[in-house]
Structure 1
């Protein structure tokens, strides 16, 4: 395993490898979100099938993250990193050749598994390379890399769709994966020995199954409703499996998750912080392009340019937040950032209420600044609260919470928006079958008002008004959540400070 005594050149190159791997993650969100209308135009597909282009990746990525972290502890970062990237690249290059949206959904499942393995190894590789303030700066650079993908990914892919085809999104992402594969091969040393013997397979299987069933059930709600038997069955089975997982982890000698971690308020606070961007930022990354393109009449390039206002602060703010830890605790900075997000969401709701366009740019910028404060800090906090030999496990827990929250957040916000639209149209749409109304509400929630209106002829005006009102209501709900989370994070992390030592390696 690398150590903080590694040469500066090796540390820099491995940090670059980790950042390039990290860049792939936002590209796997922003690219498909921007090109979804183009895919729908060429391949068709129902609202549910198109949603699963995003959901499939989220489901497999979140479900595989915890196991990937444990495998990294056992077999070493280099091996898991290389296998994960190779797997990721193979399925990324295959996606554009699929003849239908359903086949794309399947391959996105496999793509997420490779992405999880690669990113878990990349994250755990940074902790032993840097120490103290250098570690904070290294992880802030990783956060900045995320910002690069989130800021310019929508713009770049929007431009690509207009001058070329949607398939180029996956070609570019795969090419970056190949470049990362080469960098990892030359920069990351072989592991000396297995850290923890063997994987806790009963725990790994039960946890992955519980998380997969829960995420699957939540993702089905927008298309089937809360009372659907499959949804209820998946959620109940998830709860039962998770109880079994807890029972297993309390009795095995080498558990996949050390439950003692959760006795530490700081560790719990970090997990709460990990989940917050999913509800307050990622859902906007996924939802806003559909609104801009399907409702406001923007082209893919224009929608990408608008998204830069939201994500561009992540290029700078995470690094500035790391510098501010000299004077403020990470918990204080993170709470302040979430309060800025709350204010930005209220401002954004007002901007859409008065017509959108120019009115939403500054609110988007404020939200990006606010989420950027905790963005680069929480990764460092996640690995600083455990011993070095448990870094892979801590990384797996942290990223499982973060990515699983993405799927849950997208599902909850989507079903909330679709439900509000459906209820708003309850009287006018009473003459249509319930399944048609559900499909139309789901289409509208994706921003596809023209497709939704074709299902409910004669209700075009009411549908547009319902969508606009419901969208503003959702933004107000998210603002409330941001304010509540800010208070909880401040309380849980009030004693958590940036880790400093007398010796540190400069990144």
Structure 2
């Protein structure tokens, strides 16, 4: 295939490509954070159980994370531009249909389609960027991509909150369709087709087993608080997901051109990058869903007011990712990423001391610390991801990295939500010892997903103050656990990423 210099002769072409991919990337955080702010309104309009409401968020993340590697392989084999534009088309159509969803199940299915389209657009777009930019220019391009995510995360909740209060939750789909459609138009005009001439096509058995394993595991985690973590159904679902994962590994070891090159995991820097990719999921991203549920559903904030509160959490991503790329002139990536994660852990511990009812101005400081800490690795992760494989396998590299990051976000949301429901359930069982276990479990699920009114209806013997105390204690313990995981990840990043690769490092990896 033609080189990048032939594909994109002029600087204007490269800039137009970057604008198109960044616009597509801007739609991703909007699609992710918006439903969390709209969940209470969606429940009032369409009803649904706590698990069905959880899938409004998790369906998008599951499809996005599970399909990224497959979409990256499709882009390498059949053309990155084709996959990019096809993904945007699906994303736009599903977003337009959002406004006409007749029920919660239909809405969940549309979220699956949005996630699939987003995966194709992201995998094709980032692989195309890796073909068009080299060296320091590539680092700047991917740092700008990270900053674009920051713009969506910083102002997305504010914009979506205002839109929901002004026009209703169904108008949110139109916003996504406009952003995605604009990205598609620019991409169709400026993007040049590229592919890996040695690609063997989609590894269908690998894609099927991986997606199935991730879907079954996520479903098991979401259902575990309802079924019981040690129940036969939960254990059976976890066992099925483990068998599917083992089948995926067996398939990948036998395929000539696998979707996931397992040999790459022998290299410490590659492993370090994947650990870094997973860190924002439980150190930062879960808060983008948990905090709106807490602020709107439990503490009674309006959607726009909650969006303003979240601004402190995401605003640092507007500036600090680019600053991190600049600081690599003097500091190693390991030092910047590990230090950022430690700062983030301090912010999580601080936030854990904020009980329900804490003024928004007091919440702003720990949220600002968390956002500042996560911004340092955020600006370096994408560039690191494509630096550990040959350029012609950029689709695979972005697919692996994006899958770890986004699938990690989806799994983290499912696990953290389930753990919060379990902790709340234990607190409610102590506060209402005579209530049936099923009723307590249902109330805990409702409270964990922001349904304070539903929990009060199920437990009329408990006051709102008691429920807030139980919820606040469970939320705080959860944050302490997330802080501990973040510190552990920082230690792994310090150890694995401090190794300096040889100049021929990417080629060596590619030969593995």
Q: Same fold (TM over 0.5)?
A: yes
Which residue of 2 is the match for residue 465 of structure 1? 469
Which residue of 2 is the match for residue 254 of structure 1? 257
1:301-340 alignment runs, 5 A limit: 301-340=304-343
RMSD after superposition:
1.9
Which residue of 1 is the match for residue 283 of structure 2? 280
List structure 1 runs of 4+ shifted beyond 6 angstroms: 497-501
Kept in 2, the 8 Å contact 1:310–1:368? The answer is yes
After superposition, the C-alpha distances for 1:16-48 in whole angstroms (9 at most, x for unaligned) are 111111111101111111111111112222211
Which residue of 2 is the match for residue 494 of structure 1? 498
What CA distance in whole angstroms lies between the structure 2 residues aligned with 1:340 and 1:76?
41
What CA distance in whole angstroms lies between the structure 1 residues aligned with 2:385 and 2:305?
37
> Alpha carbons of 1:125 and 1:256: their partners in 2 closer, same or farther (altered >3 Å)?
same
1:378-417 alignment runs, 5 A limit: 378-417=381-420
Q: Which runs of 5+ in 2 are unaligned?
A: 506-512
What CA distance in whole angstroms lies between the structure 1 residues aligned with 2:302 and 2:3?
47
Which residue of 2 is the match for residue 3 of structure 1? 4
How many angstroms does 1:309 deviate by? 0.5
- The normalised TM-score by structure 1 is 0.95
Residue in structure 2 matching 1:108, options 90, 106, 111: 111
1:22-171 alignment runs, 5 A limit: 22-171=25-174
- The normalised TM-score by structure 2 is 0.94
How many angstroms does 1:475 deviate by? 1.2
Structure 2 residue 451 is matched with structure 1 residue 448: yes
How many angstroms does 1:2 deviate by? 5.8
Aligned length in residues: 501
| SS of equivalent residue, structure 2 residue 258 | coil
How many angstroms does 1:252 deviate by? 1.9
Kept in 2, the 8 Å contact 1:381–1:498? The answer is no
What CA distance in whole angstroms lies between the structure 2 residues aligned with 1:351 and 1:206?
42
Which residue of 2 is the match for residue 183 of structure 1? 186
Which residue of 2 is the match for residue 504 of structure 1? none
How many angstroms does 1:243 deviate by? 1.4
After superposition, the C-alpha distances for 1:32-72 in whole angstroms (9 at most, x for unaligned) are 11111111112222211111101111111111111111111
1:225-374 alignment runs, 5 A limit: 225-352=228-355, 355-374=358-377
> Alpha carbons of 1:496 and 1:118: their partners in 2 closer, same or farther (altered >3 Å)?
farther
How many angstroms does 1:167 deviate by? 1.0
Residue in structure 1 matching 2:478, options 449, 469, 474: 474
How many angstroms does 1:340 deviate by? 0.5
Which residue of 2 is the match for residue 505 of structure 1? none
What CA distance in whole angstroms lies between the structure 2 residues aligned with 1:230 and 1:392?
37
Moved more, 377-386 or 219-228: 219-228
